[in-house]
Amino acid sequence: PRAVRPPCSAAGVSQVTVRDALNQALDEELERDERVFLLGEEVAQYDGAYKISRGLWKKYGDKRVIDTPISEMGFTGIAVGAAMAGLRPVCEFMTFNFSMQAIDQVINSAAKTCYMSAGSIAVPIVFRGPNGASAGVAAQHSQCFAAWYGHCPGLKVVSPWSSEDAKGLLKASIRDDNPALNLGVFFFFNISVLGTHVTLVSHSRPVGHCLEAAAVLAKEGVECEVINLRTIRPMDIETVEASVVKTNHLVTVEGGWPQFGVGAEICARIMEGSAFNYLDAPAVRVTGADVPMPYAKILEDNCIPQVKDIIFAVKKTLNI
């Protein structure tokens, strides 16, 4: 089930950050399978722009952890070719915004080759890096690519939030014979709700906002069921449907733009399925603003879904 469990609060239990969870996953997979290697900008001697690959270059050396020039099209092409030849590369983008430089390699070379070769050529590659809005980096560095890549058959697209999700999904992606995009988060926190009044569906960083909104609404007697999607393609729509059947209300939350977004897909799938008959009100989407991301902080804050926006949407759909 995708409903997020309450966080562990036992005294003395240490929580692993998302950063450390990703580092552990890479370390374990590099050690487990000699075909696995990591390449990207500053992943080796600098330990990664966000220190995800901390210590890996010293442990595995130049052939397994490779620094690349600032040329996404070039090193992505190298990684895709290596995957076709039998290796299992992890291709890191400093941010998924930079994957636009290599989208031909990701879509036309990686995603379509298995189908176009009638299944004779596998492309076991992972593209990973932070996704969505950071802070103060403006329009060209703050886009969410979940809907972009989730649109394309041939790819598996994961969007984890908690450290547990991040580690498990990265390991699964590396072992998968299909190309996978691992959309990380810029802000490294841990989360970790069942309800009866409304279903909140989200992925990545906004899951935390949903949990905060659920905590506020619980004080007003509104019980929210928060679903952490974890994967965009394939999408676990069955869990969403089961929750909607129980709560009779649906709010989707995402950091991306509204048009053709992940929330739009969820709403369409619910409308086309049997769960639609259980809705007592129209589904509501909470999204990023339909504008390029501004640089000014006050404008940036108003372009990204906030806890107050989720609370407003829940009250709107519940008519309270």
Burial of 44 (0-12, 13-18, 19+ CB in 10 A): buried
What's the whole-number mean pLDDT along residues 48-56? 94
Give Cβ neighbours of residue 147 (< 8 Å, ≥ 6 apart): 232, 256, 257, 260, 261, 262, 265
What pLDDT score does 185 carry?
64
Note whether 119 and 273 are within 8 A (CB).
no
Tokens at residue 98, please?
């930079």
**Model confidence over 101-149: pLDDT tens digits?**
999 999 999 999 999 999 999 999 999 998 877 777 888 888 899 999 9
| 109 DSSP 8-state letter | I
Domain with CATH 3.40.50.970 in the chain: 18-184
156-158 vs 231-233, strand pairing mode = antiparallel
| 261 DSSP 8-state letter | -
Domain with CATH 3.40.50.920 in the chain: 198-318
The CATH code that applies to domain 198-318 is 3.40.50.920
> Which range, of 37-41, 55-59, 141-145, 260-264, averages the lowest pLDDT?
141-145
Can you tell me the distance from the alpha carbon of 271 to that of 283, in angstroms, rounded to the nearest whole number? 9
Note whether 227 and 3 are within 8 A (CB).
yes
> Which range, of 22-31, 236-245, 295-304, averages the lowest pLDDT?
295-304
CATH class name, domain 18-184: alpha beta
What's the whole-number mean pLDDT along residues 56-63? 96
What's the whole-number mean pLDDT along residues 165-178? 94
